[in-house]
Chains A and B, each alone.
Chain A
Amino acid sequence: MSTETAVRPAALGGPRRSSPGFRVLSHSLTLAWRSLVKTLRTPEQLIDVTLQPVIFVVMFLYLLGGAVSGSTDEYLRFLLPAIMVQTVVFATVSTGVNLNTDIKKGVFDRFRSLPIARSAPLLGSVLGDMVRFVVCIAVLLGFGYALGFRIGTDPFSALAACLLVMVFGFALIWASVVIGVVAREPGSVQGIMFMLMFPLTFGTNMITPTDTLPGWLQWWVKVNPVTDVMEAARGLLTGGAVAGPVTHTLLWSVGLFAVFFPLAVRCYRRKA
């Protein structure tokens, strides 16, 4: 009992040790830890960033490699960086689904009844899911290496490619958060997200060069930000134009974040 009385939560008038900004960060990291523990305890949740990209690579490589590039080795250089981007984009879906599940189950009610920033539970979920991006990039680079994929640039560029893809994923994930907060069912989050993610990922030059496509589709591929991310990843991993696609990717990331992060917090707050 003596130890108990010694511990007074700051919430009850104890000394506040830190600034508001630091508290948001520390609460977010605590909740990211929660999200991480949950993911590691249910590893089957990682299928979409482990097995699924491997299947996509094998499927496209052997179905289309000969037709598009004449050889699978050549096609792998073209395909792998793009699949990396596709997987990260798809990986954002589960963040919204998990968030919606937490809200429905009432776990978030408890968080919202605590004196923490409204953005902390959302930031925590998102930061915790960053590990999924890391896993998918590692799996794809490892699997690609086994199939004969080699980095054609230097390690720093390769690292930059990985970080760039993650930055874009971090920006796009907030769209998933918005839908996760607003939707009524986890199932509908998945439905809505995949409806958006399919044209974003397949409507690119991921599997075929743009000039083989009909005119209207070429237009879409050119305005689609995911094309820029794929081009940037290709450039940084295998060589080629870098400046334009990287700039576009960063601008799009800032734009997506600027729109969807405040929207997500607003929607979450309105639910309260």
Chain B
Amino acid sequence: MTYAFQAEGLVKRFGQTTALAGVDLAARPGTVLGVLGPNGAGKTTAVRILATLLRPDGGRASVAGYDVVRQPDEVRRRIGLTGQYASVDEDLTGMENLVLIGRLLDLSRSEARVRAAALLEQFDLTEAGGRRAGTYSGGMRRRLDLAASLVARPEVVYLDEPTTGLDPAKRDDVWTLVREQVAEGVTVLLTTQYLEEADALADEIAVIDHGSVIAHGTPHELKAVVGGQTLEVRPLNPADVPAVATLLEGVTGHRPDSPARGVLSVPVDGDAALAPVVALLAEQRIEVTELSLRLPSLDEVFYSLTGERADREAQGSGERDGSPGGEPGRPGTQDRNEPDARGPREESPRGHLSGAAQARTPQATNRKEAPAA
């Protein structure tokens, strides 16, 4: 199988700190790999190694088959880098920033101008092109940064937290631009602290914490494996709750929880339980206002994998905590935050999804043996 980029067993230490403790990352051409993790997890270090800005202390990394350490110039010809902090030159205009990059890529003066104008147009910056980048708003700056990374028509683009600090509308703009690039065949490595962002853009997600990949798979696989599915029923008449509880226990063999008043929820394996439940509800003439089978949100996946609920405020993702994962008392998350939740990670530093999930959700691993392969 060919990968647009691939990292195997990356290790990087800064003095006493181990930033990466053996990280594997890979993406097929034209896909988006989301690297998800809290601040300090090692996301940026991994990107910097893949972008030839840092040398790894161990492991290998390649882009389009070229080794980042031994053939850095070949790698640099094929990558575009968008910094965690929009790394445009504030004293230059948008146009000048892009022309500068074009000139450094050996375009002639006129070619560089044509390319810069086309990118400004594409990124809706034509009007602002003559203004100093220092006067740009946050969203415009990110767009210029993204445009600057695309001057060379790279095969692989690294987006290091491209929407951190942007309001939701600006964030959606950036997402659209990223999707357009992917549609044109560009491979994207996206690092983010926002689960919603990884879910929205990524074909596959690697969850990094403390320098190790603790889970890896498609967004769907991650949700399915880590949390299992939950069946939720809300009877129209609250008086029916006990009857529904008995019914659900009879079908699934689990005692239902009540996450909210008048709602019952019970873990299920797949959708097999849905039909009997519907049939029994009809038979007993119990009307329901809500009947749903849902996967856990990525928030739940992430917090259950890292066991770091307490850190969520510190991650500065407050504005996104209103997403479904922010609901308190969801079944199946609380009990996975025990101290021993960190155990499996140390045993398997490159912890595969199944390995990471096994200890906590045995019922789910039966279904997904090696989902990320």
Complex Cα distance A31/B100, Å?
Answer: 8
Closest to A118 in B: B72
From B145-153, B218-226, B302-310, the one touching the partner chain is B145-153
Complex Cα distance A23/B54, Å?
Answer: 24
A114 to chain B, nearest CB (A): 5
List residues of B (114-172) whose CB comes within 8 Å of A's CBs.
Answer: 114-115, 118, 132, 148-149, 151-153
A132 to chain B, nearest CB (A): 16
Instruction: Provide the residues of chain B in CB contact with A18, threshold 8 Å.
Output: 106
Question: How would residues 52 to 94 of chain B score, 1 for a CB under 8 Å from any chain A CB and 0 otherwise?
Answer: 1111000000000000000001001101110111011101100
Which has the most chain B C-beta neighbours within 10 Å: A12, A18, A26?
Answer: A12
Complex Cα distance A96/B114, Å?
Answer: 34
Chain A interface mostly:
helix
Instruction: Provide the residues of chain A in CB contact with B153, threshold 8 Å.
Output: 8-9, 12
Residue pair B91, A115 in contact (C-beta under 8 Å): no
Residue pair B87, A10 in contact (C-beta under 8 Å): no
Which has the most chain B C-beta neighbours within 10 Å: A3, A11, A12, A42?
Answer: A11
Residue pair A11, B81 in contact (C-beta under 8 Å): no
Instruction: Provide the residues of chain A in CB contact with B80, threshold 8 Å.
Output: 113
List residues of A (17-69) whose CB comes within 8 Å of B's CBs.
Answer: 17-18, 23, 26-27, 30-31, 33-34, 37-38, 41-42
Which has the most chain A C-beta neighbours within 10 Å: B55, B92, B104?
Answer: B104
Question: How would residues 138 to 168 of chain A score, 1 for a CB under 8 Å from any chain B CB and 0 otherwise?
Answer: 0000000000000000000000000000000
Which has the most chain B C-beta neighbours within 10 Å: A7, A14, A105, A272?
Answer: A7
Interface size grouping (class) on chain B = 35 or more
Instruction: Provide the residues of chain B in CB contact with A37, threshold 8 Å.
Output: 91-92, 96
Q: A3-B118, A11-B152 are in contact. Are A113 and B105 (CB under 8 A)?
A: no
Residue pair A16, B115 in contact (C-beta under 8 Å): no
Please tell me if B103 contacts chain A, counting CB pairs below 8 Å: yes
Complex Cα distance A115/B103, Å?
Answer: 12
Please tell me if B51 contacts chain A, counting CB pairs below 8 Å: yes
Closest to A42 in B: B91
Please tell me if B291 contacts chain A, counting CB pairs below 8 Å: no
- Interface size counted on chain A using CB atoms at 8 A: 36
Please tell me if B274 contacts chain A, counting CB pairs below 8 Å: no
Instruction: Provide the residues of chain B in CB contact with A110, threshold 8 Å.
Output: 81, 83, 87, 101, 148-149
Residue pair A106, B96 in contact (C-beta under 8 Å): no
With beta carbons under 8 angstroms apart, the residue of A3, A16, A113 that contacts B52 is A113
B222 to chain A, nearest CB (A): 30
Instruction: Provide the residues of chain B in CB contact with A106, threshold 8 Å.
Output: 83-85, 87
Instruction: Provide the residues of chain B in CB contact with A3, threshold 8 Å.
Output: 114, 118
Q: A105-B85, A115-B73 are in contact. Are A11 and B105 (CB under 8 A)?
A: yes
Complex Cα distance A110/B149, Å?
Answer: 8
Q: A3-B118, A34-B92, A38-B92 are in contact. Are A115 and B87 (CB under 8 A)?
A: no
Instruction: Provide the residues of chain A in CB contact with B76, threshold 8 Å.
Output: 113-115
Residue pair A109, B106 in contact (C-beta under 8 Å): no
Instruction: Provide the residues of chain B in CB contact with A109, threshold 8 Å.
Output: 48, 51, 53, 81, 83, 87
Residue pair A10, B106 in contact (C-beta under 8 Å): yes
Instruction: Provide the residues of chain B in CB contact with A31, threshold 8 Å.
Output: 100, 104
Residue pair A34, B89 in contact (C-beta under 8 Å): yes
Q: A30-B103, A41-B132 are in contact. Are A112 and B52 (CB under 8 A)?
A: yes
Instruction: Provide the residues of chain A in CB contact with B106, threshold 8 Å.
Output: 9-11, 14, 16-18, 23, 26
Instruction: Provide the residues of chain B in CB contact with A42, threshold 8 Å.
Output: 91
Instruction: Provide the residues of chain B in CB contact with A107, threshold 8 Å.
Output: 87-89
9 A-B interface contacts by CB (under 8 A)? A9-B151, A17-B106, A27-B103, A27-B104, A109-B81, A110-B149, A113-B80, A113-B81, A115-B73
The 4 closest A-B pairs by CB, nearest first: A106-B87, A10-B106, A115-B76, A113-B81
Additional A-B contact list (17), CB under 8 Å, known A106-B84, A109-B81: A3-B114, A4-B114, A9-B106, A9-B111, A9-B115, A11-B106, A12-B153, A18-B106, A26-B103, A31-B104, A38-B92, A42-B91, A109-B83, A113-B76, A113-B79, A113-B81, A116-B104
- Which B residues are closer than 8 A to A by beta carbons? 48, 51-55, 73, 76-77, 79-81, 83-85, 87-89, 91-92, 96, 100-107, 111, 114-115, 118, 132, 148-149, 151-153
- Which A residues are closer than 8 A to B by beta carbons? 3-4, 7-12, 14, 16-18, 23, 26-27, 30-31, 33-34, 37-38, 41-42, 105-107, 109-116, 120, 272
